[in-house]
Structure 1
Amino acid sequence: MGQTVDRNSLLSEEFVTKIMNVLLRLKMTEVIPVGLILTCFMLLRGCGAALNCTSPTPHSLFEELEKNLFSKKLVRPVASFSEPINITISITVVGILGVDEKAQTLSTVLWQVLEWDITGLSWDEKECGATRVSVPRENLWVPDIHIAEFMDEIKSPETPFVYLDNSGHVFDDKPIKVVSSCRLEIYTFPFDVQTCSLTFGSYLHFVTDIRMIQGTTAKEILDESQEVLQTNGEWELTNITVALSTLSLDEGSYSEITYNIILRRRPMLYVVNLLIPSCFLIAVDLFSFMLPPSAVDRSSFKMTLILGYTVFLLIMNDLLPVTGETTPLINVFFSISLALMVASLLETVFITSIQFSSSQDSAVPTWLRTLVLHYLAVVVCLPPMKKSNRITVILNPNYKEPASNTSSIHISGSHCQGSSDDTSKGPPPPAPPLEPALDELKKLSRDLAAIRLQMDKYFQGSKNSQEWQMIGIVIDRMLFGLYILFIVASFITISSIWIWHNINEA
């Protein structure tokens, strides 16, 4: 112990050779196993790159780094080219800049941390005066780690330094802005959940050269990301998963690590600006059935609603996603709403046409009267129309009475004889004029018959009009019920699909 041994002489090639010879002799005598020999060989070989600082100053340390490390930056820092270097990676999601549905891209800001070890590099903390130093990144060998889904130039602020500690461990931390491709599923927009992947791996080196190692766990990444997340707009970071994989190609295999970033859209903006106004317009169109089509021009009111809804969709078109793969469910909702409004307008036109038939004084067909007024009226909770007990008698104005009923005065000879006999007694009384009075009575009878005929026609037309009006009311109420059922069924179906997808994606 009293003799001072030079460090460089102990670590010389001659010293290492002597130690190995001793170990081999012990192996030949089966004193120690082969594994111990290899371990000692690797330790001795690693110690050969230890830095020997002349003084505990930065100048002395960087002189040693320049001589033993910086001059070898073009070569992977491994003991043998057959050995892979382990690259430990960790990320933190700092910001979600946006999602472009049309371009199918995701823009994020990440903190990327890469760590690896330089084989054989070490120095004594007391001898060199530092445990960790920052060195220029350009003076070290840096792995070519890239993101497989990148769609634009990966931009990052200038960070020219990395940390290097006395055990040869390199710590490379830098923020990057990534525009990556993401297969977006917007079928359930605006209640959609998107999963975008970021796959990190070497662009050139095979798995035999560079092997990707997971750093922090997925839960730690999620907790840290949610804590430091600065901007996310309409998107909420819900989960992060990590998966190690190997990409196999014809020329070789590549080690990769994939981070799945799960995002949920905040739907309140679209609910307030799109869904609620659309539901209000549908409700107004629904209550418009309470307007009587015979007294109010209901069709004009419904046409105004359709025009207003069309203008609303044109104004809000910029809020809807644009994609060519799938049609969002909200677009189906808007199409159904517009179709319902058009159907209600056509229903109003149909009912108006039916009730206009009443002005034509045409009789209602028997089958239609029976089907609508006696069966459908019961279905729509309207009392069936009762049959009228009125008996109509139609008189023929062209009817002429027979000649036997014509009143006439016949004067016989006996009457004349009796009269001649009575002439001697005195002058006979004058005969009353009966023929003109009878003619007037006949004319009056014919006029009364014509008036009665016209009155019967009027009452018959009024009855037909009432039947047509009743048919229109029954059909209108039936179509109104079908309209309500279709609206309820459509809204329940669309809402169920939204809820079902959200439960499966959660």
Structure 2
Amino acid sequence: MAPMLAALALLALISVSEQGPHEKRLLNSLLNSYNTLERPVANESEPLEVKFGLTLQQIIDVDEKNQILTTNVWLNLDEKNQLLITNIWLSLEWNDYNLRWNDSDYGGVKDLRITPNKLWKPDVLMYNSADEGFDGTYQTNVVVRNNGSCLYVPPGIFKSTCKIDITWFPFDDQHCDMKFGSWTYDGNQLDLVLKDEAGGDLSDFITNGEWYLIGMPGKKNTITYACCPEPYVDVTFTIMIRRRTLYYFFNLIVPCVLISSMALLGFTLPPDSGEKLTLGVTILLSLTVFLNLVAESLPSTSDAVPLIGTYFNCIMFMVASSVVLTVVVLNYHHRTADIHEMPQWIKTVFLQWLPWILRMSRPGKKITRKTIMMSNRMRELELKERSSKSLLANVLDIDDDFRHVPPPPNSTASTGNLGPGCSIFRTDFRRSFVRPSTMEDVGGGLGSHHRELHLILRELQFITARMKKADEEAELISDWKFAAMVVDRFCLFVFTLFTIIATVAVLLSAPHIIVQ
């Protein structure tokens, strides 16, 4: 009998604590005389305090082509149009003076879920909204407790304006503000208070592959606008995110450095290969493609130049300069003596001083400071000696001594005596230039053997002049080729140094280098 009595007692208790009729009666009692337009305060002169909070969940996706960053609190950053699109949970909590009851009078009912269109709720909107509907919240039920406490947590997708700073792209931090406040109630009627002084709730945040969340602080502001004399209260949350640079580092910066190094290797390519200029132009086009990829992921603004854009422009300037200097190298390499004459300053710079600085030398000719000074001294002596010789001696490249040596007494033009020193040859040779005469005159005054010697002399002079000219041309062509090689080596050192300095300067000037 004891178990049966216990079961009957339990059924009696369950029937007494049934909630359905009590909740219906409570709703009728609360809502029959409830006015949704009435601000629920006991004293009309006091403001209604509303606690405001925000919960961030997850950064979901980044659509680089459409410049959209999708998150789940959800954060969506449109860099192209400088928009911040968020799907967040708002938390509004206030105390409604008209929604209080004694739970013991209604069967122990301590809370209710009431649709928001049946109750008064604060008209909190996002001031910097860029949505067409302005308010993107989804209407959910309001949780009402017996002490008058109301909790309203509407989720929604918010699209807000956000000033994107691309100065340090891709090593940039972005701060996007979300400003919430009452649209019609001033600070004397409705007072917004931060639910958590630390800012938004990040306890359930899941990391994203592109953006690293630094924080989401909140701040309460009281502002008097030009339209209205009353102060208005707002709560501003700042979403601070940092771009993860590992992707951009290995997909933009590293390929750019490798391509620029290929441009440097172009200076080691022999000019006779025929691919020297083609390599430089191809590298320049490749950098242009990479720069276009960067430009597509940036907003169309002239407020700032991104750091990676500056770096790419420097590298492109270097590669373009290398193409120009490659043209100069090819021009020097293929110059001939028939068309170009090497100026003295090119000989001094590209054949003496630059090879000495770059530790370059030609086969069998070691270039040192001493040899440069001796070469300059020999050239000065040669110019001085040539200036002291007669015009005839300079033209024929012979000595002036024959003008001062008297002919031997036994050597005359008529006897044809070829004595020691070939005095007759010297006499006839001297006469042939002292007084102008034709071959017939020479032949008439001399014998046949004298005429043959004179013709042989002229042939020897012609052959010697041709051989000397060929040697001079070959030496000049060799000088031009060596000058082209010196320019190549000089550009290799200069542009290598420029690439290293530009890369290091960009990385050191960035606020942070790699965020994984």
| One of 116, 119, 126 as aligned partner of 1:147 | 126
Q: Partner residue of 2:77?
A: 99
Distance 2:200 2:216 in 1: 10
TM-score, reference length from structure 2: 0.73
Tell me the CA shift for residue 470 of structure 1. Answer: 2.6
Contact preservation (8 Å) 1:97, 1:233: no
Within-5 A mapping of 1:191-340? 191-218=171-198, 221-224=201-204, 226=205, 234-250=210-226, 251-314=229-292, 317-340=295-318
| One of 30, 44, 49 as aligned partner of 1:65 | 30
Relative distance call for 1:398 and 1:109 in structure 2 (3 A) is closer
Within-5 A mapping of 1:328-367? 328-360=306-338, 363-367=341-345
Q: Partner residue of 2:88?
A: 110
Tell me the CA shift for residue 339 of structure 1. Answer: 1.5
- Counting aligned pairs with the same residue, the percent is 26
1:127-166 residue CA offsets vs partner (Å, 9 max, x unmatched):
212111111211211111111111112323342x211111
1:482 aligns with 2:486: no
Tell me the CA shift for residue 296 of structure 1. Answer: 3.8
The 3-state SS of whatever aligns with 1:221 is: coil
Within-5 A mapping of 1:452-491? 452-491=464-503
Tell me the CA shift for residue 334 of structure 1. Answer: 2.0
Q: Partner residue of 2:390?
A: none
Relative distance call for 1:361 and 1:323 in structure 2 (3 A) is closer
Relative distance call for 1:460 and 1:480 in structure 2 (3 A) is same
1:77 aligns with 2:84: no
The 3-state SS of whatever aligns with 1:494 is: helix
Contact preservation (8 Å) 1:395, 1:449: no
Distance 1:99 1:490 in 2: 31
1:419-450 residue CA offsets vs partner (Å, 9 max, x unmatched):
xxxxxxxxxxxxxxx94444334322332222
Larger mean CA deviation between 90-99 and 253-262 belongs to 90-99
Distance 1:407 1:285 in 2: 76
Contact preservation (8 Å) 1:56, 1:127: no
Tell me the CA shift for residue 330 of structure 1. Answer: 1.7
Q: Partner residue of 1:494?
A: 506
Tell me the CA shift for residue 92 of structure 1. Answer: 0.4
Q: Partner residue of 2:154?
A: 174
Distance 2:497 2:314 in 1: 13
Contact preservation (8 Å) 1:84, 1:210: yes
Larger Rg over CA atoms: 1
Relative distance call for 1:123 and 1:179 in structure 2 (3 A) is same
1:11-57 residue CA offsets vs partner (Å, 9 max, x unmatched):
xxxxxxxxxxxxxxxxxxxxxxxxxxxxxxxxxxxxxxxxxxx9971
Q: Partner residue of 1:156?
A: 137
Within-5 A mapping of 1:17-56? none
TM-score, reference length from structure 1: 0.74
Distance 2:481 2:20 in 1: 111
Contact preservation (8 Å) 1:192, 1:265: yes
Distance 1:162 1:409 in 2: 139
The 3-state SS of whatever aligns with 1:188 is: coil
What number of residue pairs does the alignment pair up? 420
Distance 2:20 2:265 in 1: 92
Tell me the CA shift for residue 404 of structure 1. Answer: 5.1
The 3-state SS of whatever aligns with 2:271 is: coil
| One of 149, 166, 169 as aligned partner of 1:189 | 169
Distance 2:145 2:258 in 1: 66
**Amino acid corresponding to residue 109 of structure 1 in structure 2:** N
Distance 1:366 1:482 in 2: 24
The 3-state SS of whatever aligns with 2:167 is: coil
**Amino acid corresponding to residue 139 of structure 1 in structure 2:** K
Tell me the CA shift for residue 257 of structure 1. Answer: 1.3
Tell me the CA shift for residue 293 of structure 1. Answer: 2.3
**Amino acid corresponding to residue 274 of structure 1 in structure 2:** L
Distance 2:328 2:505 in 1: 29
**Amino acid corresponding to residue 118 of structure 2 in structure 1:** N
Tell me the CA shift for residue 488 of structure 1. Answer: 1.7
Tell me the CA shift for residue 380 of structure 1. Answer: 1.6
Distance 2:37 2:199 in 1: 36
1:78-134 residue CA offsets vs partner (Å, 9 max, x unmatched):
112111000001110231452122321101110111110122643222221211111
1:408 aligns with 2:415: yes
Distance 1:81 1:467 in 2: 100
Tell me the CA shift for residue 313 of structure 1. Answer: 4.1
Stretches of structure 2 lacking an aligned partner (at least 5 in a row): 1-18, 58-71, 362-366, 387-392, 418-445
Relative distance call for 1:292 and 1:309 in structure 2 (3 A) is same
Distance 2:359 2:300 in 1: 47
Tell me the CA shift for residue 319 of structure 1. Answer: 3.4
Relative distance call for 1:398 and 1:66 in structure 2 (3 A) is closer
The 3-state SS of whatever aligns with 1:270 is: helix
Q: Partner residue of 1:23?
A: none
The 3-state SS of whatever aligns with 2:154 is: strand
Q: Partner residue of 1:42?
A: none
**Amino acid corresponding to residue 54 of structure 2 in structure 1:** I
The 3-state SS of whatever aligns with 2:89 is: strand
Distance 1:215 1:308 in 2: 53
Contact preservation (8 Å) 2:55, 2:200: no
Tell me the CA shift for residue 320 of structure 1. Answer: 4.1
Q: Partner residue of 1:12?
A: none
Moved beyond 6 Å, runs of 4+: 388-395, 397-403
The 3-state SS of whatever aligns with 2:303 is: coil
Distance 1:79 1:438 in 2: 144
Q: Give the CA RMSD over aligned residues.
A: 3.5
Contact preservation (8 Å) 2:200, 2:216: no
Distance 1:144 1:273 in 2: 47
The 3-state SS of whatever aligns with 2:202 is: helix
Stretches of structure 1 lacking an aligned partner (at least 5 in a row): 1-53, 411-433
